[in-house]
């Protein structure tokens, strides 16, 4: 998603006179709220569109992911805070995902494992090379998105870590 697409979405929001628009799709989360209250428009000078864009993930760095669908502005703020505690580890390369150093061996991590920055989370095999993927955070593994032995694309989600 680039700026143009965001602009187009904002145009749609205006066109359809939406008060709220929220989308989450492949690592991107976009939320738009618009105070289209006639009274405000009349009395206040600025009908400001609020656009909340989470820090866009640079290639393969952890990005915020929401844990709850916010129902109000207050909740949304809470959710945003909650978001910041989750880091998603994405695949920096294309290859095959392995959870253990060799067939039959124990997995590097499980859901619930406590991990430290620099700890190996998995291996991605690319061009016969085994690439170890390290954690960039201290925290707890709360989700593993990919099955052992499954191919992964660039940018595909691998783990969610609740950071501390």
Partner 1 sequence: MFKKILIANRGEVALRVIFACRELGIKTVAVYSEADENSLHVRFADEDVCIGPPRSADSYLNVPAVISAAEITGADAIHPGYGFLSESAYLAEVCEACHIRFIGPDPQVIRLMGDKARARRVMRKAGVPILPGSDGPIDNEDRALKLAKDIGYPVIVKATAGGGGRGMRVVRAPAELSHAVKTAQREAEAAFGVADVYIEKYVESPRHIEFQVLGDHHGNVVHLGERECSIQRRHQKLVEESPSVALSEKVRRKMGGIVIDAAKAVQYTNAGTFEFLMDADGRFYFMEANTRLQVEHPVTEMVTGVDIVKEQIRIAAGERLSFKQSEVTFTGHSIECRINAEDPDTFVPSPGVIHVFSVPGGPGVRVETMAHSDCTISPYYDSLIAKIIVHGRDRPEAIARMRRTLEMTVVEGIKTSIPMHLRILNDPDFVAGKLSTSFMERFLKRREASGRLAEAV
Which part of the chain contacts a second copy (CB under 8 A), choosing from 34-42, 55-63, 124-132, 146-154? 34-42
Distance CA 33, CA 151 (A): 38
> Between residue 125 and residue 164, which ones bind a second copy under the rule CB under 8 A?
none
Token pair in block for residue 144? 């593993």
Q: How far apart are CA 122 and CA 58, in angstroms?
A: 20
Q: How far is CA 3 from the centre of its chain?
A: 18
Residues that bind partner 1 (CB under 8 A): 2-5, 8, 59, 93-96, 126-129, 151-156
Distance CA 24, CA 64 (A): 11
Q: Which does 21 bind (CB under 5 to 8 A by kind): a second copy, partner 1, none?
A: a second copy
Contacted entry of partner 1, a second copy, none for residue 22, CB cut-off 5 to 8 Å set by kind:
a second copy
27 near a second copy, judged by CB under 8 A: yes
On the 0-12 / 13-18 / 19+ scale of CB atoms within 10 A, 21 is middle
Residue 38 · residue 31 · CB < 8 Å: no
**Backbone phi, then psi, for 42, in 5-degree steps?**
-70, -45
Choose which of 59, 69, 74, 160 interacts with a second copy (CB under 8 A). 69
Please check whether residue 124 is in contact with residue 152, taking contact to mean a CB–CB distance below 8 angstroms.
yes
Residue whose CB is less far from partner 1, 118 or 151: 151
19 lines the binding site for a second copy (CB under 8 A): yes
CB of 32 to a second copy, least distance (A): 5
3 lies in the site for a second copy, by CB under 8 A: yes
Interface ranges with a second copy (CB under 8 A): 1, 3, 5-10, 12-42, 44-47, 69
């Amino acid at each position: 998603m680039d700026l143009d697409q965001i602009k187009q979405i904002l145009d749609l929001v205006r066109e359809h006179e939406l008060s709220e628009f929220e989308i989450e799709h492949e690592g991107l989360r976009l939320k738009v709220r618009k105070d289209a209250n006639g009274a405000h428009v009349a009395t206040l000078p600025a009908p400001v569109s609020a656009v909340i864009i989470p820090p866009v993930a640079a290639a393969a760095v952890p990005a915020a992911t929401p844990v709850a669908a916010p129902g109000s502005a207050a909740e949304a703020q809470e959710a945003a805070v909650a978001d910041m505690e989750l880091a998603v580890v994405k695949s920096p390369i294309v290859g095959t995902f392995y959870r253990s150093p060799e067939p039959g061996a124990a997995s590097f991590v499980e859901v619930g494992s406590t991990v430290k920055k620099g700890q190996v989370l998995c291996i991605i095999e690319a061009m016969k090379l085994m690439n170890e993927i390290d954690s960039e955070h201290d925290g707890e593994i709360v989700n593993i998105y990919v099955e052992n032995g499954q191919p992964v694309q660039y940018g595909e989600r691998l783990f969610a870590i609740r950071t501390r």
